[in-house]
Amino acid sequence: MKTAGKLVVLGSINADHILNLESFPTPGETVTGNHYQVAFGGKGANQAVAAGRSGADIAFIACTGDDDIGERIRKQLQVDRIDVAPVSAVSGESTGVALIFVNGEGENVIGIHAGANAALSSALVDAQRERIAKADALLMQLESPLDSVQLAAQIAHEHQTTVVLNPAPARALPDTLLSLVDIITPNETEAEKLTGVRVENDDDAAKAAQILHAKGIDTVIITLGSRGVWASVKGEGRRVPGFKVQAIDTIAAGDTFNGALMTALLEKRPLAEALRFAHAAAAIAVTRKGAQPSVPWRKEIDEFLRQQG
Ligand code: RIB
């Protein structure tokens, strides 16, 4: 039997080492930063936190190392209203790490060491078969082994659990995986990797969306940065603008969008309303530094939306 409104997120956990600097260094150059922070991140964990803080009933399938930071992250995830029973501490492994530069425009570049995220094996996914089968939706990204993502999608598909894929970081994907996906949320770079279409305007986004529909995906939401999203359902597409805010740091903006979108969709809100809710969460996140420290709580999103009228 399904648990109504239940979300399962499968994905990565990282400790983010973030250095803010005026501009990115070029090869061979050393640049002094103006702010350094270690914050909890990882695309999976960020999306889980965004869902938890915005009000979803959520469990998280992931791996940390058996180290101190892994233990601290696990405790914080519980504070963020996440069921961490399926988070494994992998013996002899270190928790994943992301090294991040953020420039004066709030843009970022990221390098990752997978660490324990690489240990999220098919066997660990199989052990969570029942949890995935009972959920309403499964949300995944691509910082976990692809075999495990594929297996989780198969289990979900077999049990009518909606499969949502945020295909980040960008990589080509087999049609066997894409055909199991119900909702996909690439950014422009990821959409190009998956379709070969360079997404520079709405027409390009519509073309990329059609290619993803042809692979069997009903709902395609291409995020377009400050221009909002291209939302296409079974071939009917339109651009939905976001909110204008002064961005200081875009780390985890997409993750916040995905997590909050799931909360709203699982509350059975219409897509347009769910997109507005997700846009509001992401708009708040870009006005704050870091990944999880920037993710808003439900009352902050509701307040933001009230102010927009
Ligand atoms: O999407 C942002 C995230 O990407 C960061 O938190 C970092 O850990 C990387 O996974």
- The predicted-structure confidence for 263-299, as pLDDT tens digits, reads as follows 999 999 999 999 999 999 999 999 999 999 999 999 9
Q: Across the chain, what does the average pLDDT equal? A: 97
Measure the CA–CA gap between 132 and 101, rounded to whole angstroms: 35
What pLDDT, in 10s, does the model give residues 63-85? 999 999 999 999 999 999 999 99
Q: How far is the CA of 291 from the centre of ligand 1 (A)?
A: 7
What pLDDT, in 10s, does the model give residues 18-42? 999 999 999 999 999 999 999 999 9
pLDDT class of 215 with cuts at 50, 70, 90: very high
**Set 16, 57, 136, 255: catalytic member:** 255
Q: Which atom of ligand 1 is nearest to the CA of 12?
A: 10
Record the pTM.
Answer: 0.97
Residue 255 is a catalytic residue: yes
Is a pLDDT exceeding 80 seen at residue 309? no
Q: How far is the CA of 254 from the centre of ligand 1 (A)?
A: 10
Q: How far is the CA of 109 from the centre of ligand 1 (A)?
A: 10
> For ligand 1, atom 7, which residue shows the shortest CA distance?
42
pLDDT, position 83: 98
Q: Residue 228: CB partners within 8 Å, gap ≥ 6?
A: 239, 240, 241, 242, 279
Q: Which atom of ligand 1 is nearest to the CA of 100?
A: 7
* Cis-peptide, bond into residue 169, ω within 30° of zero: yes
Strands 162-165 and 82-83: unpaired
List phi, psi (to 5°) of 290: 90, 175
Q: How far is the CA of 9 from the centre of ligand 1 (A)?
A: 15
Query: 225 vs 228, 239, 247, 296, CA distance in Å?
Result: 6, 12, 11, 18
pLDDT, position 26: 96
List ligand 1's pocket residues with C-beta within 6 A. Answer: 12, 14, 16, 41-43, 46, 98, 110, 112, 143, 251-252, 255, 291
pLDDT class of 169 with cuts at 50, 70, 90: very high
pLDDT class of 4 with cuts at 50, 70, 90: confident
pLDDT class of 201 with cuts at 50, 70, 90: very high
Measure the CA–CA gap between 251 and 294, rounded to whole angstroms: 8
